[in-house]
Amino acid sequence: MTVASTAAADRPAGAGASKPRRRVAGWLGFAPFAAYTLVFMAIPTLLAIWSGLTTEDGSFTLANFAAFTDQSVLKAFLNSVLLSAAVAVAAAIIGAVLCVALLAAKPDGLLRVIVDAASSVLAQFGGVMLAFAFIATMGSAGVLTLWLRDTFGFDLNSLAPDPTAGPLLYQVAGLFFPYLYFSIPLMVIVFMPAVEGLRPQWGEAVATLGGSRLRYWRHVAFPVLAPSFFGATILLFASAFSSFATAAALTNAGILIPVVMQQDLGSETVSGIAHIPGVLAIGMVVIMGLVMWAYSALQRRAARWQR
């Protein structure tokens, strides 16, 4: 009897047929997510791109890209990029510090359970509810604004870059605070698994060789965490750059590119701008594509330490 026939004889009955079944079951399990992605992401993205590349009669054109010569559009793009970058850096640093501090807590302890649950909820807390919360806190008659004014004589709105544009909260600089509110919990969710991947043996090895705690973080922990940290920072940038509801609830001015797109889509008085939101969407898709490519590259590098 040959080796092949022996192996075939020892193979359980139906083992060969089970592989196609598992493959079919896997595709069936993936189908809902694929349908969701197709309906709510792929199709809207393609429609937006098609709108930006066509005229009113449906013919192909590149003339719509003249919208990028508008100074207000360029300023809105710049505001979106600067705000998203500032929020991403600040939230990444604060969130990373929180993650490192949580290493002292038991993974299944009460503190970790509370932090994980709060982070999951607050990372999704946005839109009108978050805008109202910050109006009640930092608005012209907000609790924090009045407390600082009555207690210390400090006017929070004096920090506004442009005093003629209204209170701080309704300007780009003021949007930093509500964006930071939901970005820090997102950083905790994304970065905590990487911090938990640090092996205690690495710190013990550094201590055995006479190294300090600072040397451990500088030469071992940070190089290991750097790809995950910068990848999470990029993800925070993408989240802030694509956020719309909170900014739209706090301001009617086209200071951010998603708000400009919403205003053009809802305009009933200005003609000839029906395809401008599509062009602006193409610009956002290009930026998001570059950001997610960088995030994917960093995640592949970080995965080598998480095996």
Tens of pLDDT, residue by residue over 8-51, are: 455 555 555 566 777 777 777 778 888 888 887 788 888 888 88
Please state the domain count of the chain.
2
Assigned domain for 57 exists: no
Per-residue pLDDT tens digits for 193-227 = 888 888 878 888 888 888 788 888 888 888 888 88
Helix ranges restricted to H, 155-244: 172-196, 200-208, 213-216, 222-242
CB 102 within 8 A of CB 198: no
Q: With cut-offs at 50, 70 and 90, classify the pLDDT of residue 93.
A: very high
DSSP secondary structure letter of residue 62: S
Report the sign of the C-alpha dihedral through residues 57, 58, 59, 65, in that order.
positive
Q: Are residues 74 and 28 in the same domain?
A: no
Q: What does the pLDDT read at residue 83?
A: 93
Q: What does the pLDDT read at residue 19?
A: 67
Joined tokens for residue 125: 């807390």
Q: pTM of the predicted model, to two decimals?
A: 0.80
Range of the domain at 128: 70-303
Q: Are residues 42 and 160 in the same domain?
A: no
Q: Give me the residue label for tokens 């022996």.
A: 6
Q: Are residues 39 and 115 in the same domain?
A: no
Q: Are residues 174 and 136 in the same domain?
A: yes
Q: Classify 105 as helix, strand or coil.
A: coil
Q: Are residues 179 and 270 in the same domain?
A: yes
Q: What does the pLDDT read at residue 94?
A: 95
Joined tokens for residue 112: 């970790």
Backbone phi, psi, residue 60, to 5°? -70, 140
Q: What does the pLDDT read at residue 3?
A: 44
